[in-house]
Structure 1
Amino acid sequence: MRGSRITRLFRTRPMTHETPYEADTSRRRPTVLKALVFIVLMGLVIAGLLAAATLLRSEEGPKIAIAEPEPLAVSVIPVEYLTELDIDELFTGIAEARRTSRLGFQTGGRIERIDVRVGDRVKAGQTIARLDTRGLGAQLASSQAVVEEARSAHQLALDTADRQRQLQAQGHISQQRVDEVVSQAATAMARVDAAKAQADTIRVQIDLASITAPYDGMIVSRFADEGAIAGPGQAILELVEGGALEARIGVSARVVSELVPGDIYTLEAETGPVDAPLRSVTGVVDPSQRTVAAIFDIPETTGVPAGSIVRLKMERKLEEKGFWVPLKALASANRGMWTVYAVVGEGEDESWRAQPRLVEMVYPAGERAFVRGPLEAGDRIIVDGLQRVTPGARVVPREVQRAEAASGG
């Protein structure tokens, strides 16, 4: 038993000539070789990167030379400072007719006729349109008949009262009977007055069925034609008063004290200068326009058409240090500021550079503006070609360029 067990043990684990250490070493040898190869490769990669970095940092490495562009020829003007400025302020208004009315019928109905067209001149009181009044005419005839009937009844009541007074004087009837007859006569008279009032009401309606011109003027609009049904108050014609016009011009509050009612001022109209007396100044600031209305009377002889634009010119002295520049010399900047480009000489070779300067616009006038900013008197400002100018760009004033060309430099 024991011998057989030992035999099985030796069969299960065969004998080998390698020691345990040698066996383990043989298994680890491929892994170590792979690690050594990886380390060598990483060292080569790092060495290559360091060599490339050294080459890039070397002052003796290759460089690309970029030629600076030729200076840009520009036109310039010198800065000339002023301590005060006389300016003309223009205030705009419209020459309007004193009265304008849209005319219509008080009551509705079918339009029978319109006697005027656009552009016709009318006189005050002239009938210019009328409704069909046949229905009102029939009502008036009926009211007239009622009036006649009431008058007849009243006359009968008066005659009866006279006879009753005679009988009462003879003692045939009592005073009570006479008083009753007199009261009936008074009632009949009241019926006559009521019938007459009804007839007068219809006559008024007939009168209101026509449109009459309230003043002399011109028809400028016509909104309906014959045969149309007009509603109560519907505009049929528009009338503009003829004769003198008035100009309502909004002025700033600071010049109100300089305006004197009754004085003559020269207004600039589309037809030329117009001498117009100042009628009044409202003295109230319009909240939407922030201006005060000044009303001028424009004589009819001036020929200024209604609806045309008129302007009032006021001279004002502006005490502000600044200088004039053309509008084309300004480029927009932030927060309401503007930019101008000053030409600055740098270095011994007198190379010129464009340097931006922020300025504030004080007063615009046509094609130029009065500005203030950090520039010295005599500084040169570029006045053309700003779309091609960038901060720091090389420029050369055309005056300098021409002088060098003339001298052969």
Structure 2
Amino acid sequence: GSGEILLWRVHEFDKVEVQPELHGHFYSADSYVIMYKYLFRGWREQYIIYYFQGRTSRILEKGTSALLTVELDEEVGRSAKEVRVVQGKEPKHFLTVFQSRFVMHHGKDPAAEGKKKGGEEAKMYEVHGDNGELDESGKVQWDQCVERVKGIEVEARSYRLSSASTFILVKNKDLFVWYGSASSEIEKTFADNYVEKISGASLNIQKIHEGKENKKFWSAFPKGEEFFPLRRRQNRPRPRLYQCSIGTGVFDVEELYYFCQDDLMSDDVYLLDSGDDLFLWVGKHATKREKRMGMDVGLAYLAKLPNKDKRQSYVRKQDREDKKDGLGLFLVEDGKEPLYFTTQFHAWTDLVMKNGVMVKRDGGRDAGKVGLPVQHIQDILDQQEQKIAYQDILDGNYPEFVDESRLETYLVEEEFQELFGMNAEEFEGLPGWKKDKMKNDLGLY
């Protein structure tokens, strides 16, 4: 991070230089080109050219960023390393270049549209990182972990506050640093350092620990919203996300590391282990088979969890359809994610870019409530075990999560006997090929 940085914002087919004092500030609707020059072994010049593409940046500008990178490489004799960086997947060496100054803002850079920064609208940033290395006194060795932390703008709503993170809230001339009860030391240090750098802007700075908020802090948020402290154990394991897909023709479960919201694809199913609760996220375009097999995988995962007694469910009883306590595997629908789920993702957003403006996506949760009623998947499957008439099966008139690979098991006993000429026990004793042929002839596939 001690080298020289040249940074440009992409504007249509050209690039506009960003002044050094603004290095590290990126906007989600823009793309950038960054040339980093450093000395290798103290004497040999080396170059890395990054082209950074914001989540809602236009395709035109994303393509231009790649072309400009090639042009810059040619200017330095094609000796540079070219690295594509997408928002949410920033590699450590990229963050190290900016030395704890990486902040991601919503929308387009106001300078690109001739607008002034600031205004009366509140802005909030979630700081995300881990503890890294601590010295003997338990304090963060900041110089060894600058690549592990970043600040991302989130909606300035009280329900976005999470005990697991530190937040910076700015409204007019007031700046609040809010420390979640389970936030890491590196997150707190990043926030303090960042605030120190901008403290010359005549800001009224207040540092607040969770549970010690004052009226002025809450007044920065819209009225009538619910705040629920989603508390977390300090030593809780990192959340883990598994993608469940049948895209290759074989049902495959793969863990995704350093995951973010953009990893959730609407044609797949995902299992999220928060370290306490388990959630099965079902994409809008996932197949019935993927949904059912994802449920089976999730329940098997839950059954084999080690040290269950050390886990604690954070899903409130009033938010459960069965009104019961205890750990569970909960269903989460695409576009209707409860806070119990979204707080496992750094800087989750319900905003999308439409016609150059950040707007709330269609559907989704009620902004004023902590969560949506969540169902335990075992309860859903228990409801699916009801018997179904043969004609209803042929017409597709049956519950969504029925296991379509074993439709014959849902037939009433008399109808099964009439259709197959034997009872279910005798049928199970047949060779696999013969069972498949009989099911195929009856349309039970």
Normalized against structure 1, the TM-score is what? 0.22
Which structure: greater strand fraction? 1
Greater gyration radius: 1
User: TM (normalized to structure 2)?
Assistant: 0.20
Name which structure has the greater RCO, CA cutoff 8 Å, separation 6+: 1
Question: Which structure dedicates a bigger proportion of its chain to helix?
Answer: 1
